[in-house]
A and B are shown apart, each in its own frame.
Chain A
């Protein structure tokens, strides 16, 4: 999937993946896509909850190697 911005939260534990996702999205325009990579297993549910609570859509979520990859679209 194409994306406009990405960051790697590998090695970071809760709440940092969510906090950094929020910060990254803040600088983006509506409709743009953010790619986030994380290793924290808790981030799977956290990203879904974040998307639901903030209205930023979680377009896709997958795991590659031992990392989780998320694509979010800024509301």
Chain B
């Protein structure tokens, strides 16, 4: 029985959108699947050495549950983003949700392959020294090969 393949395309870099690729990848890898994640655009932020900078903004995020409704005029004030990020991280910890760092480490341990989009690395002028070392650099065509063979292909 050949194991399944899953291809993920991670395009977002906010705290809420960082979790789905790492959780899906680590779960599939735990089930013995062959998993690759293609990081592009803001998904590249998830390849930084430290994930402490991954934030979530309360601004223009009407679907985000809040303990108290906050008017838009207040959401945009300095410090609100840091506060929303801190509150979400605290909530996650209290509910036993693993940190982003831990989930990423688990993915690498379970041999999930990380591919970074060379084009967007060049576009945003990121230095590869800022990223973790277990990353391959390639273009969309590189990823298409694996994506084409995958049983599950998701765009996040």
Contact = CB atoms under 8 A, between A and B. Distances in A.
A13 B96 contact: yes
B27 A13 contact: no
Nearest to A14: B23
B72 to A, nearest CB: 31
Contact of A54 (B26, B31, B106): B31
Interface of B: 23, 26-27, 30-32, 95-98, 103, 106, 110
Contact of B31 (A11, A14, A50): A50
Interface of A: 11-16, 18-19, 21-22, 39-40, 49-50, 53-54
A72 B32 CA distance: 16
Nearest to A9: B96
Contacts of B110: 19, 22
A14 B103 CA distance: 11
Given A13-B95, A13-B97, A54 B32 contact: yes
Contact of A21 (B30, B96, B103): B30
A18 B96 contact: no
A15 B95 CA distance: 13
A39 B96 CA distance: 10
B27 A15 contact: yes
A19 B30 contact: yes
Contacts of A50: 30-31
Given A13-B96, A19-B30, A49-B31, 7 more contacts: A15-B30, A15-B98, A16-B96, A18-B27, A18-B30, A22-B30, A50-B31
